[in-house]
A and B are shown apart, each in its own frame.
Chain A
Amino acid sequence: MDVLTHLSIDLFPIIILLIIWMDNEKKITRTADKWLLGVLALISIGLMLVNILISSLTGAGWTAGPFLWIPYILQALSAVTMTGTWLLCVCNRLFTGGHKQLRQHVLRISSVLFALFFLLAVTTPWSGLLFGRSESGFGRGPGWWLSWLFCALFLAECMGISLYLYSHEAIRDHRAEESQFFWLSLGILAGVSAEYFWESWWFAAPSVSLAVLWLYLNRQNHQITTDGLTGLSNRRRFDQELHRRADQPAGKMWGMLMIDIDDFKWINDNLGHVVGDEALRETAGILRRTFGRERAFLARYGGDEFVVIDDFRDEREAKGVITRINREVTRFNQETKRDYRISLSIGYALWREVTHERPERLVDQADERMYVEKQKKKEAAGAL
C-alpha cells in the first residue's frame, strides 16, 4: 500500500485525535482520566505516523539497512502500548469504583505481559520472531501473530473488567457507562484484528481514535448536563427531561417534587459561601441516598432548589416519598456534626393535574405547594 493511500486513510483519525488532545491539554484540573486520554491520543497518532513512515520507506525502495528494524519494532511496540494505555484507562474505573485489590492484580499481570512483549520485540532483529528480513525486504516472522495476541490479551482484560464492573454497579447510569467500555474495547479488538489478519486493512489506530472520540463526546455531554457543584443533573437537563416526559403518550403517571433548603440564605450569610456549598452537596447526597437504585431523576434546579421527577401514581405516593426524604434528612442531622441543620421544604405536583397545560405549569404547582409548606413552618416556628 503506497504512502498516499495510507495518508488518505490516516489523516482524518490523526486530525480528530489532535483536536481532542489539544482540548484535553487546556483543562486546568489534571485527573488521571484526562492524562491517560491525552497519552492514548498521542500514542495512536504515533502508531499511524510510524505506519506512514514504513509505507514511504518501502515505497521509496528502502528495503535494506540495519536502521529499518527500528520503525518495525516501533510499530509493534506502539500497537501494544496503545492497547495497554487503553487498558489503563479502563483500569482507572476500577480505582474510582473502589476495587483496589482487583486493580492491583490486573496491573501486575499486565506489566509482566508488557515486559515480555517488549523483550520479544526488541530482540527480534536477532531472533527473527516478529518479523524478518528477506530478499524482497521486511516480512512477517513466524511469530508475527504474537503482536496481535498481546493486544488481544489487553483488550480481553478490558472487556473482563467492564463485565465485572457492570455486574457490581448499582446505579443505572453508571452501568450504562461500563457497558460502553465493553463495546468500545470490542470495537478496538475488531480493528486490531482486521489490521493483523487482513493485508492492507489499517484499522487498529483508527478504531482507537473512534473510541477516544466517543468518550470525549460523552464527557462533554456530561459536563453540559451536570451541575458542577453537586454532580446532579443541571437545570438545562431538567428542562429537557420535563419536556421529554410531557411528550410521552398519555396515561403515564408521574410527577415531580420541588425541594428548597430552608434558611439557606442564613447559612450563606452567617457561615460563609464555602459552608453554603457544602450544605448543597450534603442535600444532594441526602437525595441520592433516598432514591438509591431507583429510576428517579434528580436535578439541581438552581440556587438552593432541587427537583425530583419520578413515577408517582397519586398524592399518597408523592407524600410517601416526601416522608422518606425527610427521614433521611433527620438521620443526616443526627449523624453528622455540623454548624447547621438541614431542613427541607418540599412541594409535589402530579402530571395528571396539569396534563393539558404547558409542562412548566407542573413546576409552578409544585412550587406553590412548597411555598405553602414553608409558610406553615414559619408560622409554627413563630408560634413557638
Chain B
Amino acid sequence: MSALTYLQVHLVPVIALVMVWVNMGKTPSFTWHNRVLRQTMILLALVMVINTMAWMMDGRMFPGTRLILYILNTLHFLTLELVALLWFFYVYGVVGNKDRAERGFVILTSVPMMCMMAVVLSNPWTRLIYDINEENQYVRGTFYLVHSGVSVAYLLAASALALNGCRRESSEEKRRQYHWLAGFVVLPLCGTILQILFYGTELILPLTTASLLLIHIYGQQNQVTRDSLTGLNNRRRLNQYLSELEAQSWGEGLCYFVLMDVDKFKKINDTYGHVEGDVVLRQVADQMKKVFGASRSFLARYGGDEFVIVLRDETKEQLEARILKLKDGVAMMSWADGRPWEISLSVGYASWEEAAVTNTQQLVETADSRMYEEKHKKKNRQA
C-alpha cells in the first residue's frame, strides 16, 4: 500500500473521532471516566495521524529523514500504548463506579506499560521492536509481537474486568452495558488477525476506531432513554415500550401496568427545597430497583413524582406482595437516614386482560384512577 492509501484509510476514522470528540464537548460530562473516554478518542486519532505521517516519510531519502522516522515511530508506539492503557482505566472507572482512579492502582497497573514505553524509547539503539534500514524503510523487529501483546493484554484485562463486573451486577441494564465494554476487544482482534492473514491491508486502527465509536454511540443511546436523576427509563422510552407491547398485543401471559406517585411530594419540595426533593425521588427509584430488579419488569419515571412499573409473568398476588415490600422499603427510608420527611406511595394498577381495557390509554387511565382512589382513601382516613 502506498503512502497515499494509508492517508485514505486513516482519514475517515480520524475525522469521525474528531467529530465525536467535538460532540462530546458540547455536553460536558461530570464523570471522570467519560473524560477519560474522550481523551482516548483524540489519542487514537493522533495515533493514526502519526502512523500516516510515518508511512509518508517511509523510504524517502531527504536529509534528516532517518531522525524524523525514529521520532514518528517512537511517538506512534507510545501513543498506541497510552490508548490501550486509557481504555483499561475507562472500563475500570465504569465497572467500579469510580469518581477517580486511586493513585496506587494507577501506578501498579501502569508498570507493564511503563516497561514497554522504556523499550520503545530505547529502540533506536536496541532495535527490538522495529528498525529503520539503510533505505529509510520501517522493518519489524524480533520483539514486535511482544509489544502488540502487551497492548492487547490491557484490552483483554479490561474485558475481564467488565465480565467480572457482570457477574456481580443484578441490574440487567448494567449487565448489558458491561457486555458491550467486554466486547470492545473483538473488532481490534479481528482486525489484527485479518491484517496478519491478508498482507496488504490496514485494518487494526480503523476497526479499533469503529469499536470505540460503537461504545460511545451505545452509551449515548442509553442517555437518550434514561432519566438522568433516577437512572430509570424516561417517559420517552416508556412510550416506546408501551407501543412495542401494544403491537404485540401485550404478549402472552400476565402483564400488569402499575402507576404510583409519592404522596405530598410538592409539600416536601416546598418545605425542604428542590435538592431534598431530588434525594427523595432517587431513593424511591433505588427501592424500586431493589424490589423489582430481579423480576421481568420495566421501570420508568413517568414524570415529576410519578413512576411506572410494567410487570410481566407474575400473578396478582405476587404483584401485591412486591408492592407491599416496596411501600415498606420506602417507609423505612426516612427512618433509616434520619431524614425529616415521611414518605408514602399511592399505587394503582391495571392488567390488559381486564374487560374495560382495549388500548394503552385506557390501561393508563384505569391505573391512574385506582391510584387516586387510594390517595383519597388515605386523605379521608387522616381527616
Contacts and interface: CB of A to CB of B under 8 A. Distances in A.
A221 B200 contact: no
Contacts of B235: 228-229
Contacts of B221: 23, 220
B286 interface: no
A218 B217 CA distance: 12
A223 interface: yes
A236 interface: yes
B146 interface: no
A5 B201 CA distance: 6
Given A12-B207, A224-B223, A240-B28, A19 B275 contact: no
B13 A221 contact: no
B12 interface: yes
A235 B228 contact: yes
B23 A217 contact: yes
Nearest to A27: B240
B363 to A, nearest CB: 13
Given A206-B12, A220-B221, A240-B28, A16 B210 contact: yes
Contacts of B274: 363-364, 367
A56 interface: no
Given A28-B244, A221-B27, A8 B372 contact: no
Contacts of B217: 19-20, 23, 216, 220
Contacts of A235: 228-229
Contacts of B188: none
Interface stretch (A98-106, A141-149, A196-204, A329-337): A196-204
- Residue among A7, A200, A202 with the highest chain B CB neighbour number at 10 A: A7
A213 B305 CA distance: 36
B200 A12 contact: no
Tell me whether chain A's interface is mostly helix, strand or loop, or mixed.
helix
Contacts of A28: 240, 243-244
A9 interface: yes
B251 interface: no
A4 interface: yes
B1 to A, nearest CB: 6
B244 A8 contact: no
A8 B217 CA distance: 22
A225 B210 CA distance: 25
Interface in B187-236: 198, 200-203, 206-207, 209-210, 213-214, 217, 220-221, 223-224, 228-229, 234-236
Contacts of A347: none
A2 interface: yes
Nearest to B214: A19
B224 A224 contact: yes
B19 A12 contact: no
- Residue among A13, A19, A216, A302 with the highest chain B CB neighbour number at 10 A: A302
Nearest to B213: A16
Given A213-B16, A220-B224, A273-B368, A7 B201 contact: yes
Contact of A13 (B12, B198, B304): B12
Contacts of A360: 275
A11 B8 contact: no
A11 B207 contact: yes
B303 interface: yes
A196 B380 CA distance: 79
A174 interface: no
A278 B167 CA distance: 45
B198 to A, nearest CB: 6
Contacts of A213: 16, 19
Contacts of B201: 4-5, 7-8
Interface in B19-50: 19-20, 23, 26-28
A209 B206 CA distance: 14
- Residue among A20, A216, A221, A360 with the highest chain B CB neighbour number at 10 A: A221
Given A4-B198, A28-B244, A302-B304, A202 B8 contact: yes
25 contacts: A1-B5, A4-B200, A5-B5, A5-B200, A8-B1, A9-B5, A9-B12, A12-B16, A12-B209, A13-B12, A15-B210, A200-B5, A202-B8, A206-B11, A216-B217, A217-B23, A217-B220, A218-B23, A220-B221, A221-B23, A221-B26, A223-B224, A224-B224, A228-B235, A269-B372
Interface of B: 1, 4-5, 8-9, 11-13, 15-16, 19-20, 23, 26-28, 198, 200-203, 206-207, 209-210, 213-214, 217, 220-221, 223-224, 228-229, 234-236, 240, 243-244, 266, 270, 273-275, 303-305, 364-365, 368, 372
Give me the 9 closest cross-chain CB pairs, A-B, nearest first.
A303-B304, A12-B206, A217-B23, A15-B210, A223-B224, A206-B12, A228-B236, A4-B200, A220-B220
Given A2-B200, A224-B27, A371-B270, 18 more contacts: A4-B201, A5-B201, A11-B206, A16-B16, A19-B213, A23-B217, A28-B243, A28-B244, A203-B8, A206-B11, A209-B12, A210-B19, A217-B220, A220-B220, A228-B234, A237-B27, A273-B368, A303-B305
